[in-house]
Amino acid sequence: FFFFCIFWGLMGSQADEEVRRALGALTSKGSSVTKVEALNRLVELSTLVPDISTVTTLPTFFGALRDLLVHKSQTVRMGALRVLRYYLRPTTSSGYVEDMYYRASLGYFIARSFEYMEGESSERVQALKLIRRTIEADSWRAPPLSAGSAITTHSTGIVSVGGAGSPTAVVQSSFALSNPSNSPTALAPSSNSSGSVPLSTPTPAATLHTSPQPAGWQAKRASTTTLLLQSNNSSNNNALSKKLFMVPRCIVQALRAVAEAIHTDPFAKPALETLSEIAARNPKLVAVCGGMKTIFNAAIDPYFADMQDPLLATLLYIFDDTSTRQYVRPSTDICILFSPLSDISTSPPNEIDDRSKIWEASVKAISVMLKSWTGLITLASDPLLLKSMVDTLFLPSWALRGIIIDGLFGIFKMPIPKDTNWFAKHGESVSPDGLDLPSRTYDERPNLMNNFLSALLLVFIECGLVEALVTVGETQAEGADTFVIHKATVLLAEMLHMSSSLLSVTQCAKIQTLPSLVSTAVTFALHDQERVGASHMVANLHHLAHLKSRTQQGQPQGSLTVTGANKWRRIKGRDKRLDKVDDIKKKMDFSIDEKQLLVKLQQTQVTENKDFRRWAWDSISEMLEGPLRNPMHVATVMRQTKFFKRLLSFLRPSRRLFSTLPLSQEHMTYAMVGCQTLEILLESEQGTVFIAESLFLKQLSEILKEEADMLEHPSTSRTSVSRFLDENSILKTMSKEYFSLIGTMSSFNRGADMLRNLKVFVYLRTLVETPGRLDLASLIITSLDYTDADHARVLFAKALYCQTMAARYFATRHLRTLLRAGAPDFASWGIDYLAKQLSDSDAKVWGTAVAILDEACDDPECMESLITKAPPLVTLGKAGFDLWLRFLSTDTGFKHLMSVSFVEPELEKWRNIENVLYAAHLEAVLEEAFGSRVSSATKRVVPIPPHLYGELTKTAAGRALFLEKKILEGLVEDMMNINQLPIKRRAALWALGNIGSSESGLEILEKEAVIEKIVRLAETDPWLSLRGTCFNVIAMISRTEKGRQRLDTFQWQTPNTPKPHTCVPLDLKRCSLFKVADYAYGGSVAGDEALPCDLELSTQPASSDHATLITQIGNLANNVLLEKATRTIKRLKTQKPELFLSPQLAQDVLVLLEHQPFRLAIRRFLFALLPETAFSTPQFWSLFPATTPSEVIMMTSGGVTDRTTITPASNSKNAFTLRTSNKTNK
């Protein structure tokens, strides 16, 4: 190590000397080739020089490079830019960037290199890389813009700004990175095969750990949150951190100009991405330069469609807090998103197509805004914004109406109808399969997505969306688009159905009656066309309401059997009307006489014909489900006909009738009838004897034995041609359904005894345990009935613990079906099986077991059974840990966790860090569910995970411990402290919501008047994302009857449902939830809040022509005076060319470019007027005063700029001063 240090020191000293020689070569007179070689050598030596200031002074370093930035050779300029970038390091970024931009004033020429040339020149690439390197340097040295937030550059090229749960600005670069920024490369331009321009090297990021891991997941989450909480430790944590932002104004102006050159400049997208990143960190700087309007315009431009989401995320981040919100013009900038929707003027077909793309971009931008609480509150705060979008449905443009209605489907997470037959298809497709069993308890869990949908409903109903959809839906005029009318009707029907379960009775009463529509439908004085359209819409709405009520899934009572014919039967308990019809029909069929029975039997054609293709299979099924449920009728049929004999004969494998039929949905009727037949026969002793005497069951046993022997002794078994259960037969023929018949036999004690006597269970066990036939294992596992603790459960246990992972997984997953079917005594044997599966070696198996246990523990009996087994849940990732926390909700579980010394240490962890982790994880899941990348037809379910405080306060002993630790006081203090980290405030809210979701926890909150404080925060807090959290917390508190009564006193009401999970304000006009306080715009150039100027124009022009020229250049920013000013400047260029060689004019032009929002073409025109020699004279550089970091743009807690007046340099011939706070910029 000693010799290594000596060697490295010698290398370092040699590198330092070479750097000095290379810098000397740059300042001496020499050819362009010599300078390029010196620049390349400096790049190579950058890896050996960690800090350039230890080799030479920064003024010397920048002085050697600044003349090269205006060199006539593009290769030299590009090399100088590369050297500046390679020596910008995290350890030296602060002083380096300050000297580069604010002492050496190199920012003007970096901006010139980026915007002056056209096309994809290498110089522009290097300039942009240096700019982005500066942004990264600012991330290294300065704290994030707001407390609890972070700017992170991910390895994928995505730069994200924001904390968990808050609006996140994401700038995703679509430009590849060809070389790392710290590796020397040649001066040739780098680009990828697609022609895209490389930007800068991303740095690795520490991201929130949101997915559960089996090992070390708590430590990773803790370290991540430590980084999150360390982002701001000042006393004023809620405000913007007072910091320097190193990107100068001149560069921001250049980025803005290039970003606005959409169709003419290939760097428009990377410039816009960079501008968006800067806006997230310093919105004031971008606002003063006019960049906010640029970002808004780009968000609805089809050219930037791939960047729309990150651009809007940046704007949402800015809108969230008052300190950044002031840099967006109120009721002006946000209107840009809605402005295309008011353009319906007649245009040629090609222009109409282009306008439709702009409409779609505008609607998508609004939809993205409405997928976050910040966006929803921002848009709803202005009474004209969303109403203007809704009012466009009244405009006579069917194309625009269709686009808006499609957007509304996406906003409400509804599938868009594909055709006008939606009502018929909807009625057919919603009938559930018998195996698609719903959870018996999931509906009782709150879904946070419903809270957001209820807020959306409130806002759009207030904007008149119901009336607008009625107007579109009842239209029957000539030329009307029937598909758009149909979609409007479907959307209205879905909204009405949704409102009945999400809104209060008072609010539903206002919209459910549809007075205008009903009035039109029954007013015969109106034109027939209007009345018919209204009547047709009323009929469709009624039809959908009927479908919804018929297919609304109710919970089946008691246990269900999911084997045999039950797979095809409708589950009872879901539709009471159909249940009643079935009961009446069953009584009628049961009481028919023998003559009627034989007539019906004859209609099946079974007794009349031996050919099964001529049998009436639907009639057979009706007979088996109806009259033959009467044992007397069964005896009559068996005594007088061959009905059952021919059915069993058809099923016999040796007949090769049923077994060789192709596997199809049409042939499933045969399998269903076979199961029904066995059910009828097994219900009576006579039928059981009939089955035993037939050849059907014996042959079925033989083919199972044959297949088992094939797996155990493959060399001595028959070929696959003669086998009934080989892989090909199971995949393509009805032989697969023999296991459904076996399942029907196992559902009856008589049938199970017959299977045991024929050793069927022995053969099935062999088929399950032997590797290689996963298809048979899955069929056997899902076909048998496990109601009785007999051979079927023994076989099931063998499948759970066999060597084949796939079989273990199928068996474990089938336990969920048995749980939802209400299998008898599941809390005993089912929980025991699941607890043993937690020790499985495969993560997929134990992960499935944890998920099933989580659902099963909604049943108190299953919870108590699991607690007694004390499984190692805490080692199974976050899902297992959440289930472990639920033990605290019972007295038995609390005692168990206290006995293992879990509760008190965990309370300290949650007080310090875990509570914040909980909020971060939950809000990350919410952000993913709200994200625009999620399909609009996907309505995500976002349940609330268990919380330590919420579970602890559900028992008397837990409440006592909670109050003893004085945790509630700290949560209330964090929630109300405006200077606290936003993530900690939201974490306190989530904790209080979990506590208040139970009756016992609500009593604790009432003592501190917490509900009143939460309601006040929901309506008045300046952080909009915090209001959304309060909305969710209020819904959690409304889960109890006492909570609903308390919230009712604050004019918040719940739906009229048995277990409401949402709570909304009764009157939006009185409630300030969706209102944002008025604020003064802080991004004005001429106002008192303007940024200080680095330089001002000369107060003593050199001549009258100089003054005229400056005036005309300023007029180039005015579209009215643009043409005249251009002619005047060109005339002066022709008549007095020496005027344009003045260093004073060169600096004045740079000052104007820094402060005026010129277009890119004008900026290039001005640069073209000045030769490179005007920027490289000593007289030119003497005009620049040496500024200090105190003049760099600052952001303070209130968003006000710190102003400092400086004295001009002693060698300056003209007075260049910063204006003070009582002056305005001219």
Instruction: Summarize pLDDT for 230-266 with one digit per residue, the tens.
Output: 443 333 333 333 344 678 899 999 999 999 998 889 9
* Average pLDDT of the segment spanning 828-852: 91
24 versus 562: the higher-pLDDT residue is 24
Q: Residue holding tokens 């891991």?
A: 213
Asked if residue 668 has pLDDT above 50, the reply is yes
Pull the structure tokens for residue 1159: 């277009």
What is the average pLDDT value for the chain, to the nearest integer?
A: 79
Q: Give the model's pLDDT for residue 584.
A: 72
**Do the beta carbons of residue 1055 and residue 501 sit within 8 Å?**
yes
Asked if residue 854 has pLDDT above 50, the reply is yes
**Do the beta carbons of residue 866 and residue 201 sit within 8 Å?**
no
Single-letter amino acid, residue 452: F
**Do the beta carbons of residue 653 and residue 699 sit within 8 Å?**
yes
Single-letter amino acid, residue 959: R
DSSP 3-state of 151: strand
1022 versus 1209: the higher-pLDDT residue is 1022
pLDDT tens for residues 759-786? 999 998 888 888 878 888 888 888 888 8
* Average pLDDT of the segment spanning 100-127: 89
Q: Which of 215-229, 692-706, 828-842, 943-957 has the lowest mean pLDDT?
A: 215-229
Rounded CA-CA distance 792/1063 in Å is: 48
**Do the beta carbons of residue 473 and residue 465 sit within 8 Å?**
no
1204 versus 952: the higher-pLDDT residue is 952
Q: In Å, what is the CA distance from 78 to each residue of 192, 275, 330, 471, 1006? A: 19, 22, 42, 62, 68
Q: Give the model's pLDDT for residue 1010.
A: 93
* Gap between the terminal Cα atoms of the chain: 63
By DSSP bridging, strand 169-172 and strand 1064-1065 are unpaired
**Do the beta carbons of residue 682 and residue 696 sit within 8 Å?**
no
Give the list of residues 6+ apart from residue 1109 with CB closer than 8 angstroms, or none. Answer: 1129, 1132, 1139, 1145
Rounded CA-CA distance 62/72 in Å is: 18
Give the list of residues 6+ apart from residue 1111 with CB closer than 8 angstroms, or none. Answer: none
Pull the structure tokens for residue 450: 């419903």
The 8-class DSSP code of residue 564 comes to G
Rounded CA-CA distance 989/993 in Å is: 6
Nearest CA to 267 among 124, 80, 77, 170?
124
DSSP 3-state of 159: strand
Residue 37: Cβ within 10 Å count: 15
The rounded percent of the chain whose pLDDT value lies above 70 is 77
Three-point CA angle 564, 568, 570, nearest 5°? 120
pLDDT tens for residues 620-639? 888 888 888 888 888 888 88
Three-point CA angle 620, 625, 628, nearest 5°? 80
Q: Is 357 exposed, middle or buried (0-12, 13-18, 19+ CB in 10 A)?
A: middle
* Average pLDDT of the segment spanning 1010-1018: 94
Q: Is 31 exposed, middle or buried (0-12, 13-18, 19+ CB in 10 A)?
A: exposed
Pull the structure tokens for residue 341: 């929707």
Nearest CA to 842 among 874, 884, 813, 881?
813
150 versus 1029: the higher-pLDDT residue is 1029
Nearest CA to 490 among 480, 482, 500?
482
The 8-class DSSP code of residue 914 comes to I
Q: Which of 36-50, 790-804, 965-979 has the lowest mean pLDDT?
A: 790-804
Single-letter amino acid, residue 555: Q
DSSP character string of 127-193: HHHHHHHHHHHHHHHS--SSTT--EEE-TTSEEEES-TTS--EEEE--S---S-TTS---SS----T
Q: Give the model's pLDDT for residue 273.
A: 94
* Average pLDDT of the segment spanning 716-735: 75
Three-point CA angle 1044, 1048, 1052, nearest 5°? 95
147 versus 934: the higher-pLDDT residue is 934
Torsion from C-alpha of 983, 984, 990, 995, nearest 10 degrees? 180
CA 233 to chain centre: 30
DSSP 3-state of 158: strand
The 8-class DSSP code of residue 1009 comes to T
Nearest CA to 996 among 962, 961, 1022, 964?
962
By DSSP bridging, strand 243-244 and strand 169-172 are unpaired
Q: Give the model's pLDDT for residue 432.
A: 33
Rounded CA-CA distance 154/206 in Å is: 8
Nearest CA to 199 among 171, 175, 170?
175
**Do the beta carbons of residue 56 and residue 45 sit within 8 Å?**
no
559 versus 563: the higher-pLDDT residue is 563
Asked if residue 698 has pLDDT above 80, the reply is yes
Q: In Å, what is the CA distance from 832 to each residue of 829, 860, 866? A: 5, 15, 8
Phi, psi of 880, rounded to the nearest 5 degrees: -65, -40
Pull the structure tokens for residue 472: 């579109």
DSSP 3-state of 997: coil
Q: In Å, what is the CA distance from 168 to each residue of 162, 318, 319, 453, 1004? A: 5, 9, 11, 21, 35
Residues listed for the chain: 1226
Which pLDDT band holds residue 551 (cuts at 50, 70, 90)?
low
**Do the beta carbons of residue 724 and residue 735 sit within 8 Å?**
yes
Which pLDDT band holds residue 875 (cuts at 50, 70, 90)?
confident
Asked if residue 789 has pLDDT above 90, the reply is no
Give the list of residues 6+ apart from residue 1212 with CB closer than 8 angstroms, or none. Answer: 1182, 1183, 1185
Single-letter amino acid, residue 860: P
Q: Give the model's pLDDT for residue 890.
A: 93
Q: Give the model's pLDDT for residue 888.
A: 93
The rounded percent of the chain whose pLDDT value lies above 90 is 31
